[in-house]
Amino acid sequence: MPQTPSTRWCPTPEQLMILEEMYRSGVRTPNAAQIQQITAHLSYYGKIEGKNVFYWFQNHKARERQKLRRRLGRHQQLLHYQLHQSEDAPPPPPSPILQHHMPPHFLHQGATSQGLDLVGKLETVGMEEEEEEEPMTSAMGFEQEWMATMDVSSAVPPCCRPLKTLDLFPVKSTGLKDECSSSKSSSCSTSTN
């Protein structure tokens, strides 16, 4: 089997995963030294060159930005919708997932105490510039231990079953930079599907 005259670099899954992880960790445009280091490390998993690393970060950054921009565009275009949906819904809800705004009926477990600390730092991203992903520093909460907490009994009526449910979901905010915090949207779904 001919070795496929390698015209271009083909990242192995490991390489890809590591690169993505690094990207998530905040690496965006590594300098020469970093690239060398990264390349050295990744070469363990397969053939790779410095330029591959360089290009990868270039491309990935650009494409992530594009993706983000897309979401933002959609968001802004449709932001008017949200206005009449929830009147007094505080526009810029804190990034932390679980917060005061939570309807009381979901906070019955008291497990919240752990999550209160999730209040990450809000950060205004410069969006289309270059910085669209800042180093996420928030400590993600816990996992879905709620699953373990689940005590599902036998068939119960669809509702009215006051058995203990689960804790709060584990959503943590790893870099929850809400892009346009003051606007929401959903032009769609007006009808209950």
- Give kind and range of the element (H or E) at residue 50: helix 50-77
Assess 157 for contact with a copy of itself (CB under 8 A). Answer: yes
Report the C-alpha gap between 36 and 123 in whole angstroms.
31
Structure tokens at 104: 């009381």
Residue 47 tokens, joined: 């053939």
d(CA 75, CA 70): 8
Q: Work out what residue 62 binds among a copy of itself, DNA, none; the CB cut-off runs from 5 to 8 Å by kind.
A: DNA
**Residue recorded with tokens 């509702």:** 159
CB of 61 to DNA, least distance (A): 6
Nearer to DNA, 116 or 140 (CB): 140
| Distance between CA atoms of residues 19 and 129, nearest Å | 21
**57 near a copy of itself (CB under 8 A):** no
Q: Pick one of 143, 148, 150, 156: the residue that binds DNA (CB under 7 A).
A: 143
Report yes or no: 106 and 165 within 8 Å, Cβ to Cβ.
no
Q: Does 85 bind DNA (CB under 7 A)?
A: no
Min CB(59)–a copy of itself separation in Å? 15
Estimate to the nearest angstrom the gap between the alpha carbon of 150 and the chain centroid.
Answer: 26
Q: Which stretch binds DNA (CB under 7 A): 89-97, 107-115, 119-127, 140-148?
A: 140-148
- Please give the residue ranges that form the binding site for DNA (CB under 7 A): 4, 6-11, 16, 28-29, 31, 51-52, 55-56, 58-63, 65-67, 70-71, 73-74, 78, 133, 137-144, 171-175, 177, 179-180, 183-191, 193
